[in-house]
Amino acid sequence: MVSNSTTLSRRSVLGSMIATAVFPPLAQGQQGNDPASQEPSKVKIRMTFNGQTMTATLYDNASARDFASMLPLDLKIEDYSTNEKITYLPRKLTEAGSGPFKNERPGDLCYFAPWGNLALFHSGYRYSSGLIRLGRFDDGFEPLLMRGEFPLRIERV
């Protein structure tokens, strides 16, 4: 006589085998998909404040996609410390795109999960826990060097 636990185990294995055979594209689509991807996507955004415009390319990660789904946005941009401008989003983003990264440099567009704000870096910085890189500015970040608070418009290009 076969026990219930053996039967369930065999059924689970058989069901998994059938699902893999019937739906191989779904199984392959899940492999190698880094949730914290630093690869550029095709999504471009425009940020406009104080008569200046910057474009950025978002990365192909869940947090960047969540951010793009919120656009367009009308916010306020302000200085924070000596190396970045920040703006607070109307809601927190998913943290599914989180993970440590290296090669930090000016021009990075990040999300700081603990505070729910975008961080637009115009000077050197270091990765810290809770920081999720969403993308990079395409053609420089000089408008970020202008000190002060300004109305900010963010939209898809």
Query: Which tens digits make up the pLDDT trace of 112-128?
Result: 999 999 999 999 999 99
| Average pLDDT, integer, range 1-7 | 50
Q: What is the pLDDT of residue 36?
A: 73
Give the DSSP letter of residue 59. Answer: E
Residue 100 has pLDDT above 80, yes or no: yes
- For the segment 129-148, the average pLDDT, to the nearest whole number, is 95
**Do 55 and 96 belong to one domain?**
yes
Q: Is there a single domain that holds both residue 117 and residue 83?
A: yes
Cα end-to-end span (Å), the chain:
66
Other CB atoms within 10 A of residue 116 CB: 13
What would you measure as the largest C-alpha separation in the chain, in angstroms? 79
Which residues pair with residue 114 across a beta bridge?
none
Predicted confidence band at 94 (pLDDT cuts at 50, 70, 90)? very high
Q: What is the mean pLDDT of residues 105-117?
A: 97
- Write down the pLDDT at residue 16: 44
Give the number of domains in the chain.
Answer: 2
Tell me the mean pLDDT in the region 5-32: 43
Query: Could you tell me the residue range of the domain that residue 22 belongs to?
Result: 1-31
CATH number for the domain that contains residue 66: 2.40.100.20
5 and 72 in a single domain? The answer is: no
Chain mean pLDDT for the chain: 84
Asked if 51 and 107 sit in the same domain, the reply is yes
**pTM for the whole structure:** 0.77
Whether 124 and 147 share a structural domain: yes
53 in the same domain as 72: yes
Q: Are residues 11 and 45 in the same domain?
A: no
Domain check: are 24 and 50 in the same one? no
